[in-house]
Amino acid sequence: NVYQLDTSKMKEFKDEDGELLKKMLMPGEKLDLPDGAGSITFEGTEEWASFQISQQPGNGWALGGAVAAIAGLAGSLFIQRRRVWVRAVRGADGVTVVEMAGLGRSESAKLPEELGDLSAALVTTAPVAPAAPEKPDAADTPDGSAGTDATNEAGSRPVHPAEAPAEGAEK
C-alpha cells in the first residue's frame, strides 16, 4: 500500500534539467533509473473492492421510538385536552345535588355540548334515591287541613337533579 511506505530512506531522482524524474508508465513498461540505480517496471493493475459489513441491532428500536415520538406529538397537537370537575353535595333536605364544570385548554365551542353528554351519561347510570311516601289527602288528615304542596319557598316545584339539564347543555 503506497500510504504505508517508509519514505525516510528513499532517494529522489532528478532528470538532466534538475527537475524530479517522472514518467507515465503503461502496464508492462520499464523505466531505468539514472546512474545505474536500478529500474522500475509497471507490471499491471488488479481490480479490487473493499466491503464492510456491519450489524446494528438498535436500528429497529430507534425507528420504533422515533415513530412513537411522532405519534405522541401528533396526538398532543390534534387531541383536545379538557378538565372536568364533579361535585356532589347533600343538602339539608337529604337531596344530593351534583354540580359539573369543565375547562378546555383551547376555546372549544364543543365543551358545553360534551359536558352535557357527560352529565346525561351520568344521569342514566347514577343511583336515584328511593321515592318518598305519598302525602295523605286533606280528608285523611286528622285536623282536616290540606297537606303541604310540592312547592318550595320560591313557589316552584323542586326539580330532581336527574331532570335538570347541565348549565350550557342544549339537551
Q: 101: phi > 0 → left, psi -120 to 50 → alpha, else beta; which?
A: beta
The set of cell numbers assigned to 23 is: 514518467
- In a 3-state reduction of DSSP, which class is residue 67? helix
In 3D space, the residue among 74, 77, 76, 56 whose CA is nearest the CA of residue 66 turns out to be: 74
Distance CA 122, CA 142 (A): 43
Kindly tell me the number of DSSP H helices and DSSP E strands found in the chain.
Answer: 2, 4
pLDDT tens readout for residues 118-160 = 888 888 887 776 666 666 555 555 555 544 444 445 454 555 5
Whether this prediction's pTM lies above 0.85 is answered by no
pLDDT tens readout for residues 58-106 = 999 999 999 999 999 998 888 877 888 989 888 888 888 888 998 887 7
Distance CA 119, CA 85 (A): 11
Task: Transcribe 14-27 into DSSP letters.
Answer: B-TTSSBP-----T
The set of cell numbers assigned to 169 is: 347543555
